[in-house]
Amino acid sequence: MLVAAGSLALGACSARNEGSSGNTNSPSQSQAAAPEQAANAADPAGDGKAQCPPTTSLAYAGTIAGDNAALGQNILDGVKVAVERHNKANAGCQVKLEQYETEGSGDKAPGIVTQIANTPGIIGVIGLPFSTESKAAGNIFNDAGLVQLTPSATGPALSQNGWKTFFRGLGNDLTQGPAAAKFMTGELKAQKVCVIEDDSEYGVGLAAAVRQALGDKASCQDKVKSKQTDFSAVVNKVKSESPQAIFYAGYYREGAPFAQQLADQGVEATFVGPDGVKDDEFVKGAGDAAAKAYFTCPCVPSDTFTEFSTAYKALSGKDPGTYSPEGYDLATILLKGIDAGKLDRPGLLEHVKNYDGQGLTKAFKWDDKGELAKTTVWTYKVENGKIVRNTEIKDN
């Protein structure tokens, strides 16, 4: 059900049949090559000599079986790969991985994060995946001095709260928004774009960034609600505007039926979704409409991460999905701190604050607000029922 690294590679060899998809606004340039895995990418196994108390624990906090669960499961399984690799190599340091279900909810997350903060053995957290829950609970991590590495929350304002424990493992929406606009007006050659947002912190913020970057080419806008299933009013509005592209700022749960209903009403505009839509669950839910879809994501293709992909599939029975390698990278950074003797919250926080190293997905070094110095945005598309890489968006 998740994005298959092997399928990505196979998809790169397949020619997209634009005639059958009916997509008249598709990029003409060829698929970009996937970046090679860095030779010096950090390995969670370390040197095998680590020593730590048996109570030493990390936590994953985020959706596991709740709304848009596939996005959280992608991350969690990436984290599991790193922890299992570490523990197999280090008999003297068996790090526990605790799992906490937040359902991606801004209402539920504060209570769950309070539980985590009150568990002394937990010295570092991978999460929260979504911006709404991160906004609601980030202050609790900060008050507890508990370092939080988010692999996917892209709301720009999260790093502006003065939290000393917040670190983002990807670019924020002030990077993705302009990149998406550049893709739609450049490669897709769209002169009119409808920007539709859901009611999440993520959707509202990303839509604003996209509209600002598009300027007067953002010809229409509208809103949808979480768990909405009937999009007829929005579809009719979009249809009346006759745009060349539609940017949907939200998650796959609503994005899939919205795309299908657009297609059912004969809307020819190219559907573009962000990282919250980029999941095989969207492809399943959108039906025939998925064949015309594109995605933007501040995540790099995992085609060349062969060892990670093999271990991920052995653990989960699936291929890596969106933000699986980011989850692995962030867990690895915390494990490297533990291996270096940072065995309490202040020590691990200091380790992350001063970290400067290469991972699978990128080089990791954070500024004083927890933002990365360098990030990238890629586009993806659907080919033969699979999400595959398209191009990197340069100079954003």
Please report the pLDDT score of residue 188 as a whole number: 97
pTM score of the predicted model: 0.88
CB under 8 Å, gap of 24 or more: what pairs does 153-156 form?
Answer: 153/128, 153/129, 153/202, 154/202, 154/205, 154/206, 154/275, 154/298, 155/131, 155/201, 155/202, 155/205, 156/205, 156/209
- Give the domains, in start order, of the chain with CATH numbers: 5-30+173-297+377-393 (3.40.50.2300), 57-170+305-364 (3.40.50.2300)
Q: Per-block average pLDDT, block size 10, for the chain (396 residues)?
A: 32 31 41 87 97 98 89 97 98 98 95 98 97 97 98 96 98 96 97 97 96 97 97 98 98 97 97 96 95 95 92 95 96 98 98 97 97 93 94 80
Query: Which tens digits make up the pLDDT trace of 209-252?
Result: 999 999 999 999 999 999 999 999 999 999 999 999 999 999 99
Please report the pLDDT score of residue 28 as a whole number: 38
Check if the beta carbon of residue 366 is closer than 8 Å to that of residue 353. yes
DSSP state of 38: P
Please report the pLDDT score of residue 22 as a whole number: 36
Please report the pLDDT score of residue 373 as a whole number: 87
List the beta bridge partners of residue 58.
97, 124
Q: Please, which residues have CB within 8 angstroms of residue 273's CB and are 6 or more apart in sequence?
A: 247, 248, 250, 252, 255, 259, 282, 293, 294, 295, 296
3-state helix, strand, coil in the chain (%, to 5): 40, 20, 40
